[in-house]
Amino acid sequence: MKKRELSPIELKKVVELRQLGAKWTDIAQETKVERRAAKRAYEEWERDQKLREEKAARFRVAAEAFHEHLNDLIRLAESLVSVLNVPEILRELDNADEALNKLLMRNIQGGLEPSTTLRPTRDERERIVRRNKMLFKSLQNHTRGKIRWEALEEWKQARNNAVEYSKELRSEAAKVIRNILKNQRGLKKRIKTAIGGNDITKKISDGVRETIWRGIVTGKPEQINIWEGTSLVSKGRVELRFYEDDSDTKLDLNDSKLAKDVLMMCRQAVTSLQEERKSDLVQKLAEEARQIRARTRELEENLDGLTLRPIILRTRCDLCPA
């Protein structure tokens, strides 16, 4: 016997009555639909309704998961750009792999349970690095053909070149300072007495090197200056500052005449490195800094959230929720 199909109006009435608590015999009497047919139709409707609700729930979960995935990729891109910038302090210029490792160590996604200690455990660090590597691959997959990722490789090469040139500059600066002090033994003795320690060449050459780098990065000329304290607390203090706000390279000389003599020596060293024997080395370092900045700017523009968001929404990767 062919199963009777209820019309939409009949099914609607059956559902309404059943949800109000009506018995099947009452529903049959009210709707003129045979009891078993009404019950069968209601149970099929109930199964379909449950499937629709499950589908809607899965869609909501997938939408929320994709939203989280999208935000993770945006945060990763922002973090990547932040580690690409040219540092204003030369001693912070580490090689490309070391700079990118700082990105991989950042817990940008959240969701990892913190350890009871202030520093993450080894397992936590490994999990963070593993997730960031997966996200970085996902970001590249989403943007393949849209972003010129060769710019990152060019940035790496320029960064590594700059590191090597900076090492050469350290060596050359030390040679220049040693040669100057060799001909001014009295000045060398006065400096050692003032600042203490035996490695005065390193301290001075580090300051000279940082001064040259700051000039390259900021475009400002040499900024070495003498600072003398004037307050009750600082009166009597005399410092040679290679540039502002860098306490690691300043020299506490506490003698105005000595500070002027050291200032002249440092300016002589800067001139020698920039314009005489090793000017080509400084020019190479400056060119690599320009390349780093140019590639950083290119990636910064392409990895901006406003640019990335529509690209990611239109593409898929292996990490995208189903």
Which long-range contacts link 267-271 to residues 24+ away (Cβ below 8 Å)?
267/222, 267/224, 268/180, 269/173, 269/176, 269/177, 269/180, 269/204, 269/205, 269/208, 270/208, 270/211, 270/212, 270/222, 270/224
The alpha helices in the chain, defined as continuous H runs, are 8-19, 24-31, 35-84, 96-104, 122-142, 150-182, 185-195, 200-218, 256-275, 279-302, 305-314
Burial letters 209-243, b for 16+ CB under 10 A, else e: bbbbbbbbbeeeebebeeeeeeeeeeeeebbbbbb
pLDDT tens-digit profile of 216-225? 998 887 788 8
**Alpha-carbon distances, residue 166 vs 156, 174, 200, 292 (angstroms):** 15, 12, 19, 14
pLDDT tens-digit profile of 34-67? 999 989 999 999 999 999 999 999 889 988 999 9
**The pLDDT of residue 230:** 83
Residue 199, pLDDT above cutoff 70: yes
**The pLDDT of residue 27:** 87
Q: Where are the domains of the chain?
A: 8-62, 167-294
What is the average per-residue pLDDT within 192-214? Answer: 87
Residue 239, strand partner residues: 227, 252
